[in-house]
């Protein structure tokens, strides 16, 4: 699986959504849908409206005429009647994009990381028999988007344990410097200090 994780502000997420539309002609399928037919968002305003409604969590599967050949498949969630979820790696293919988001409590504010990923192979349909490799257009798209996400950013490091964490976008870095935490679970992150070359 190829993937990049990142801390990003809401404005930067919308800019990234705009890039998906302008550069790749992407259609956004939310992770969960009210019917078994995937709902496709095609304009930035539609994506923005969806994100504003789903304040706790937004995840999309990105279809494009450049790399998608088959329909996505949805399955009803057993404990959430009338909610249908996109089945990973089935149909498409499609990039998997989870938005970074800002959470606020009475005392503090923190940014939770998002991710952008795809897989080396996919299943053609729900028969689970025929697989296919991700198209070259997805490889090219992944590299371009990964560079965009990392551009001007910093790698993070866990404050408590010292392991490397998600990338920090330029505006998320500004937020961090203004007192906003970068956090996932119980761990906090900060910019990794660059080592000097001798």
Q: Of 32-36, 57-61, 162-166, 191-195, which range is least confident?
A: 191-195
Q: Is residue 188 part of a domain?
A: no
The number of folded domains in the chain is: 1
Expressed in percent and rounded to 5, the helix, strand and coil fractions of the chain are: 25, 35, 40
Q: What angle do CA 50, 53, 57 make, to 5 degrees?
A: 85
Judge whether 170 lies within some domain.
Answer: no
- For 28, the 3-state DSSP assignment is strand
Domain assignment present for residue 111? The answer is no
Please give the model's pTM, rounded to 2 decimal places.
0.89
Give percent of the chain with pLDDT exceeding 90.
64
- Note the pLDDT tens digit of each residue in 53-98: 887 789 999 999 999 999 998 888 776 667 888 888 989 999 999 9
Residue 176 lies in a domain: no
Owning domain of residue 125: 2-100+116-154
């Amino acid at each position: 699986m190829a993937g990049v994780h990142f801390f990003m502000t809401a404005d930067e997420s919308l800019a990234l959504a705009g890039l998906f539309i302008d550069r790749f002609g992407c259609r956004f399928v939310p992770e969960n849908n009210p019917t078994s037919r995937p709902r496709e968002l095609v304009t930035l305003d539609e994506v923005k409206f969806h994100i504003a409604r789903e304040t706790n969590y937004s995840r999309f599967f990105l279809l494009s005429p450049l790399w998608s050949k088959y329909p996505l498949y949805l399955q009803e969630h057993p404990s959430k009647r009338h909610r249908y979820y996109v089945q990973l790696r089935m149909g498409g293919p499609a990039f998997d994009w989870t938005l970074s988001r800002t959470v606020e409590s009475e005392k503090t504010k923190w940014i939770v990381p998002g991710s952008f990923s795809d897989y080396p192979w996919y299943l053609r349909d729900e028969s689970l028999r025929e697989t296919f490799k991700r198209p070259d257009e997805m490889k090219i798209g992944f590299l371009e988007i990964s560079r965009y996400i990392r551009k001007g950013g910093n790698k993070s490091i866990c404050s408590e344990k010292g392991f490397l964490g998600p990338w920090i976008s330029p505006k998320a870095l500004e937020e961090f410097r203004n007192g906003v935490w970068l956090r996932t679970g119980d761990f906090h992150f900060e910019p990794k200090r660059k080592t000097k070359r001798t």
